[in-house]
Structure 1
Amino acid sequence: MREAYIIGAGQTPFGAMPGESYRSLFTDAVDAALNSVPDGIDAGEIDEAVVGTLGVGGRQIGLSGPAVTEHAGLHGIPSTRVENACAASGYAVRQAVQAVRSGMADVALAGGVEVMTDMSGDAAKYWLGVSGETEWERLTGTTFAGVYAQMASAYFDRYDATPEHLSQVAVKNHKNGAKNDDAHLGFECSIEDARDAPVVADPLNLYHCCPTSDGAAAVLVASEDAVGEYTDEPIRVAGVGAASERVGLFQRDTYTGIDASMEAAAEAYDRAGIEPDDLDFAEVHDCFAIAELLAYEDLGFCGRGEAHELVDSGATELGGELPVNASGGLKSKGHPLGATGAGQIAEAVKQLRGEAGDRQVEDAELGLTHNVGGSGGAAVVHVLEREVGR
Structure 2
Amino acid sequence: MKAYIVGVGMTKFEKPETRDWQYWDMVREAGTAALADAGIRYDQVEQVPVGYCFQASTAGQRAVYELGLTGVPVYNVNNNCATGSTALMLARQFVEGGGSDCVLAVGFEKMARGALGGSSGGDDFATSPVARHYGIMAAGHGFEMSPPTAQIFGNAAREHMERYGTTPAQLAAVGAKNHRHSAHNPYAQFQDPYTVEEVLAARTVHRPLTKLQCSPTSDGAAAAVVVSERFVERHGLGERAVEIAAQAMTTDTGASFASGSCIDAVGAPMSKAAAEQVYAASGLGPDVLDVIELHDCFSVNELLTYEALGLCGEGESGKLVESGATTYGGRWVVNPSGGLISKGHPLGATGIAQAAELTWHLRGEAGARQVPGARTALAHNIGLGGAAVVTLLRRG
- TM-score, normalization: structure 1? 0.91
2:193 equivalent to 1:193: no
Conservation of the 8 A alpha-carbon contact between 1:246 and 1:377 = no
Deviation at 1:64, TM superposition (A): 2.1
More deviation in 183-192 or 244-253? Answer: 244-253
**8 Å CA contact retained: 2:80, 2:119:** no
Shift of 1:164: 0.7
3-state SS in 2 of match to 1:109:
strand
Contact 1:245-1:377 within 8 A present in 2 as well = yes
The answer for the alignment partner of 1:340 in structure 2 is 350
Classify 1:239/1:305 alpha carbon distance in 2 versus 1 (closer, same or farther; 3 Å). Answer: same
Cα distance 1:247–1:227, how it changes in 2: closer, same or farther (>3 A)?
farther
Per-residue deviation, residues 31-74 of structure 1 (Å, max 9, x unmatched): 1101112xx1000000000011112xxx32x1122121222225
- Asked if 2 retains the 8 angstrom alpha-carbon contact of 1:46 and 1:108, the reply is yes
The alpha-carbon distance between structure 1 residues 74 and 165, as it changes in their structure 2 partners (threshold 3 A), is farther
Q: CA separation in 2, counterparts of 1:136 and 1:276?
A: 29
Deviations 1:149-199 (A, max 9, x none): 111111111002111111111111011000000000111112221011111
- Aligned counterpart, 1:209: 214
Query: How many equivalent pairs are there?
Result: 376
| Structure 2 contact 119–129 (Cα < 8 Å) conserved | no
Partner of 1:144: 149
- Paired with 2:276 and 2:201, the residues of 1 have a C-alpha distance of 37
Q: How does 1:32-47 map to 2 (within 5 A)?
A: 32-37=33-38, 40-47=39-46
- Partner of 2:333, secondary structure, is coil
Question: What does residue 114 of structure 1 align with?
Answer: 109
1:194-248 per-residue CA deviation (whole Å, 9 max, x = no partner) reads 0111111111111110111000000110001111215122101101011001699
SS at match of 1:50: strand
Where does residue 101 of structure 1 map in the other structure?
A: 96
Q: Which runs of 5+ in 2 are unaligned?
A: 123-127
Give the 5 Å matches for 1:154-303.
154-228=159-233, 229-233=235-239, 234-245=241-252, 254-257=261-264, 258-303=268-313
Cα 1:313–1:21 shift into 2, 3 Å: same
Gaps of 5+ in 1: none
CA contact (8 A) 1:87 1:380 kept: yes
CA distance in 2, matches of 1:251, 1:146: 20
C-alpha offsets along residues 114-139 of structure 1, whole Å, 9 cap, x if unaligned? 011xx3537x4365685861377399
Secondary structure class of the residue paired with 1:125 = coil
Q: Which residue is 1:30 aligned to?
A: 31
Q: CA deviation at 1:256?
A: 3.1
- SS of match in other structure, 1:302: coil
Matched letter for residue 246 of structure 2: G
- Distance between the aligned counterparts of 1:18 and 1:137, measured in 2? 34
State the match for 1:134 in structure 2.
131
| Cα distance in 2, alignment partners of residues 24 and 71 from structure 1 | 8
Aligned to 2:85: 90
DSSP 3-state at the match of 1:237: strand
Q: What SS does the aligned partner of 1:256 have?
A: helix
Distance 2:53 2:77 in 1: 8
Confirm or deny: 8 A CA contact 1:261 1:372 kept in the other structure.
yes
Contact 2:256-2:269 at 8 Å conserved across structures:
no
Paired residue type of 2:131: T
Corresponding position: 1:12 with 2:19: no
CA distance in 2, matches of 1:252, 1:3: 39
The residue number in structure 2 matching 1:125 is 117
- For 1:314-325, what aligned pairs fall within 5 Å after superposition? 314-325=324-335
TM-score normalised to structure 2 length:
0.90
CA contact (8 A) 2:375 2:395 kept: yes
Identity rate of aligned residues, in percent?
Answer: 39
Alpha carbon RMSD of aligned pairs, Å? 2.1
Distance 1:279 1:74, change over 3 A: farther
**How far apart in 2 are the matches of 1:129 and 1:168?**
33
Distance 2:354 2:342 in 1: 13
* Mapped contact 1:137–1:248 kept (Cα < 8 A): no
Q: How many Å separate the matches in 2 of 1:360 and 1:126? A: 35
Q: One-letter code of the match for 2:21?
A: E
Q: C-alpha separation between the residues in 2 aligned to 1:72 and 1:201?
A: 42
* C-alpha distance 361-113 of structure 1, shift in aligned 2 (>3 A): same
Give, as a single letter, the amino acid of the residue that structure 2 aligns with 1:41.
I
CA distance in 1, matches of 2:243, 2:12: 25
